[in-house]
């Protein structure tokens, strides 16, 4: 089956021109050659100029606001994209990131892609804000379905760092990360969407033995994705190195504690 377009998302841990290994970032993105890529935790507007030289066939968009960490989107020029900043995903908090919403046509089909970087932390406030941000996304899917002619009709993809880390509450009332993901999966199913399976459940590490499943792709069930050994999303970054190796530590320290995620929509 032919590839229609590819998507890539990567939280690059406070991405700056001064402290991040920019050459490694460029090399890692080019490894996948994505049609659309989103870089999360971008700090400083000068980064787009650096990427502009490395990716001359892409156009770029950077969110803006009072938050210190922005979302940078790169889109290959072969795609004619309408891109908007959706501030409702801040849920009234100016320090939170907005959503980046892309819409484009391939033949007679309209696709909508939403890049998200949800609130972190395991306290009740962080958990509640993540839930509210996701409800905005699922409500958007409902509106898109209506415009497309009925329930489940819209070609909608959500991708990014969802920070699914659960909630520490009171005594036996904690919510595990696994339960939070199940809650999201249930909400997705009500909109005829699914969380795509990844080739690794760990997308974040502290470098000292702690791993978490934070980054996801959620898509309309009728969209076809390429499969690699039962997975529809590739996870790639520090997981390519042995946990006790210098390469592992260097990647985390100078590039990111998150792995990138990548998927391909096919006909």
Q: Kindly report, residue by residue over 49-85, the tens digit of the pLDDT.
A: 888 889 999 999 988 876 677 899 999 999 999 999 9
Q: What does the pLDDT read at residue 69?
A: 77
Q: How confident is the model at residue 92 (pLDDT cuts 50, 70, 90)?
A: low
Q: How confident is the model at residue 29 (pLDDT cuts 50, 70, 90)?
A: very high
Q: How confident is the model at residue 45 (pLDDT cuts 50, 70, 90)?
A: low
- Which CATH code fits 3-266? 3.60.10.10
Q: What does the pLDDT read at residue 82?
A: 95
Q: How confident is the model at residue 48 (pLDDT cuts 50, 70, 90)?
A: confident
Kindly tell me if the per-residue pLDDT of 266 is higher than 90: yes
C-alpha 68/C-alpha 50 separation (Å) is: 19
Q: What does the pLDDT read at residue 67?
A: 66
Mean pLDDT in residue range 201-227: 97
User: Tens digit of pLDDT for each residue in 171-204?
Assistant: 778 999 999 999 999 999 999 999 999 999 999 9
Contact 63, 114 (CB under 8 A): no
Indicate the range of 21-35, 92-106, 156-170, 201-215 predicted with least confidence.
92-106
Both tokens assigned to 114: 């939403």
What is the average pLDDT score of the chain? 93
């Amino acid at each position: 089956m032919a590839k229609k377009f590819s998507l890539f998302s990567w939280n690059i841990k406070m991405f700056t021109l001064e402290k991040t290994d920019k050459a490694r970032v460029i090399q890692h993105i080019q490894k996948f050659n994505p049609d659309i890529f989103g870089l999360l935790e971008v700090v400083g507007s000068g980064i787009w100029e650096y990427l502009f030289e490395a990716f001359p066939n892409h156009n770029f968009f950077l969110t803006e606001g009072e938050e210190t960490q922005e979302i940078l989107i790169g889109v290959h020029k072969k795609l004619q994209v309408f891109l908007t900043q959706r501030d409702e995903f801040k849920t009234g908090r100016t320090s939170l990131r907005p959503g980046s919403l892309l819409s484009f046509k391939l033949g007679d089909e309209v696709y909508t892609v939403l890049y998200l970087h949800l609130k972190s932390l395991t306290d009740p406030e962080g958990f509640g804000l993540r839930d509210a941000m996701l409800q905005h996304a699922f409500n958007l899917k409902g509106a898109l379905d209506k415009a497309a002619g009925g329930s489940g009709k819209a070609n909608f993809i959500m991708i990014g760092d969802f920070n699914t880390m659960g909630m520490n509450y009171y005594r036996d009332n904690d919510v595990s990360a696994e339960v939070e993901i199940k809650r999201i999966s249930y909400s997705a199913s009500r909109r005829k969407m699914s969380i795509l399976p990844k080739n690794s459940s760990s997308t974040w590490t502290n470098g000292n033995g702690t791993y978490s499943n934070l980054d996801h792709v959620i898509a309309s069930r009728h969209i076809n994705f390429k499969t690699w050994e039962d997975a529809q999303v590739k996870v790639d970054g520090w997981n390519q190195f042995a946990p006790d190796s210098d390469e592992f530590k260097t990647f985390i320290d100078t590039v990111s504690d998150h792995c990138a995620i990548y998927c391909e929509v096919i006909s």
